[in-house]
Structure 1
């Protein structure tokens, strides 16, 4: 049975996922994401709107921090519109050091039609 996870996404990232150009979603390794696995579905939503986009999880890879994640996965798959250093700054603006210390997840996704 396919599990469905509902996750919020900022508009700028939602638009990249919906367009199919963002194929790696970055998350902190929160307990509620511990069971996220290949084959699951994520329904991304923009908070406060009816916008939704479903993707299939192709793989989940854990990293010790965001820098290692970006260097291993390649920043173009995370956000093709900005540089690696800008991405790192953006991710760290969303997740502070105490969150990053939990570990970072690279979630390879594919848009469901």
Structure 2
């Protein structure tokens, strides 16, 4: 019997401020809404982050994907220092909710543990 599971590459956009901490290897948890197109993301996959409108990219390995009901629970479960070591928990929650309005948060949240590739 053969294993039909293969690692995939997902292309996702990031704002410059988050891209920089990922590219520096300091951000180990990426936060996303639990959109259907991310449902198949799994450990072993690669994410290619891109700053929208540029050719700047950064590749990371997905180590783990954990679902949460909301962003607040995610930050408490993962530790805000892993999500963004440059801001407080309260700032992070406000920033995430600026990006994702309540109707998006209602879909649930994903904590994607990442590791910088090619560092």
TM-score tier by shorter-chain length is over 0.9
For structure 2, list consecutive stretches of 5 or more residues without a partner in the other structure: 1-5
Distance 2:67 2:75 in 1: 12
For structure 1, list consecutive stretches of 5 or more residues without a partner in the other structure: none
**Aligned with residue 76 of structure 1, among 78, 81, 86:** 81
For 1:2, the equivalent position in structure 2 comes to: 7
Structure 1 runs of 4+ off > 3 angstroms? Answer: none
TM-score normalized with structure 2 length: 0.94
**Aligned with residue 50 of structure 2, among 41, 45, 48:** 45
SS of equivalent to 2:97: helix
TM-score normalized with structure 1 length: 0.99
Pairs aligned (count):
113
1:56 paired to 2:58: no
Q: List per-residue Cα deviations over 1:6-31 (Å, max 9, x = no partner).
A: 00000000000000000000000000
1:18 paired to 2:26: no
CA RMSD of aligned residues (A): 0.4
